[in-house]
Chains A and B, each alone.
Chain A
Amino acid sequence: MNERDAGHTPIERRYLRLLALYPRAHRAAHGEEMLGVLLDGAEGRSRPGMAETVDLLWGAVQVRWQHALGGHRGRDRRDTLAMVSLLAPVLLLVGAYWAVRGIRGLIRAEAGAPRLWLGVLADVPVWSAWLAALVVGVFGMRRASVALAWLATAALIVVTAIDPDRHWSVEMAAGWVLLSVFAAVAVTVSPGPRRGLELLGLSRLIILIGTAVILGLLTTTGLGRYLPLVELVELVVLVLGVLAACRPGTRSGRRAAPIILTPLIAVSVADRLFLDFDAYLIFAAPVHAVLLYGAPVVITVGFAALLHRFDRHPSPEPRPGWAAR
């Protein structure tokens, strides 16, 4: 028995352990009161019943979820993710340029081999589904938007996994796959692209569409070939375009931009570092993949954890000493 359990009956101690699973702010506001209600209903028992334990565990999950996406800080988070749910799919459509370019090449070459067409058209469902997810999301059909976003993400993972030679090596795919996953999560847990458009306005959406068009032209046409330091130019266009589209004057906008940019930039940086180190140490391909997928996830999770810590303060005012129990 530790110091904090001293002076409590066995059932109180068991309830306190279950209540410790609730967020600190919730314990500060309702912990003592909940313990009173639980003890009122205990009726001489020495331990919580199974149904009561499950109910408290599920309640802790619900409250943690509500605190993550509830209240005024939660509104900020929902708005941040609504912006991501609108803008990330627009950037993802840059990937469609490769399919368009491939189809154009086959038409020009008058190549009719089904295998070639199959290879070029394999990722068309990905971009079509993302475009559809964006359009139906803007028109407020949230469930359809969520379903299409995950369908597109699953299709992208399948295409890059089964045909990595033709459909992007890991250093190209990792950023897009992660951006697709982030976008699908944002579409799912936020009010969706419609809310994103309300927050950002049509002009910001047009800025990002313009950015996507420029990036597409730089990466898939001859334009990029003649530019010095084209990768740096692409990076500058990407960062400026996303920052301009995200309304950096707002808190939600400042948070949305890193979520959108991290997968694409972190993968490039991790890949460059990997190549530098690989000159001295031979890394296996799985290590390469883990690094490229892991780096952006670690950075994004770290960023989210920092924001959560920055945002966190109990509300309403705690009763002295209760939250620390």
Chain B
Amino acid sequence: MREPTFLVLTALAAQAQHGYGVLRDVAAISDGQVTLRAGTLYAALDRLCAEGWVEVDREEVVESRLRRYYRLTETGAARLTAEVRRRQRHTSAAEQRLQLRGEGGLA
């Protein structure tokens, strides 16, 4: 799973959000390290909706601008959970190796 996809799914994990909300949330989740833009976001949302991981929650018109809220589906939540576990395994392995390195290596 590519980083923008992971961050978009993470942004939608707790609650439904509109496009601009997702962009701001991704910046917050990544501590400002990742700046997602509209082109990347909507290419990702288009794909995630087609795959059934994300769906439209509701629409609102705010200051004459359309806001469409997206939410994570059960399939999307399951896929994100699997990705989180995969990343956790890799992170744990990396931590263990670094600890061994600090203790004088594997040999």
Contact = CB atoms under 8 A, between A and B. Distances in A.
Nearest to A21: B39
A63 B66 contact: no
Contacts of A57: 39
Given A38-B38, A70-B46, 7 more contacts: A30-B42, A36-B19, A37-B20, A37-B23, A41-B38, A55-B38, A60-B39
Given A26-B46, A71-B50, A59 B40 contact: yes
A56 B47 contact: no
Contacts of A319: 66
Nearest to A51: B37
A30 B22 CA distance: 15
Given A38-B38, A55-B37, A71-B50, A62 B43 contact: yes
A165 to B, nearest CB: 50
Most B CB within 10 A of own CB, among A35, A38, A40, A58: A40
A301 interface: no
Nearest to A22: B42
A58 B23 CA distance: 17
The 7 closest A-B pairs by CB, nearest first: A59-B39, A36-B65, A55-B39, A55-B37, A62-B43, A56-B39, A37-B19
Interface of A: 26, 30, 32-41, 51-52, 55-60, 62-63, 66, 70-71, 319
Contacts of A56: 37-39
A69 to B, nearest CB: 10
Interface SS of A by simple majority: helix
A59 B66 contact: no
B68 A63 contact: no
A152 to B, nearest CB: 31
A37 B39 contact: no
15 contacts: A26-B42, A33-B19, A36-B19, A36-B20, A40-B20, A40-B65, A41-B38, A55-B39, A56-B37, A58-B43, A62-B39, A66-B43, A70-B46, A70-B50, A71-B50
Contacts of A71: 50
Contacts of B42: 26, 30, 34, 59, 63
Contacts of B23: 37, 41
A22 to B, nearest CB: 8
Contacts of A55: 37-40
Nearest to A39: B65
Contact of A59 (B18, B20, B38, B50): B38
Interface string B52-81: 000000000000011110000000000000
Contacts of B45: 30
A55 B37 CA distance: 7
A168 B23 CA distance: 58
Contact of B47 (A32, A40, A52, A66): A66
A129 to B, nearest CB: 31
A23 B49 CA distance: 16
B66 A32 contact: yes
Contacts of A39: 65
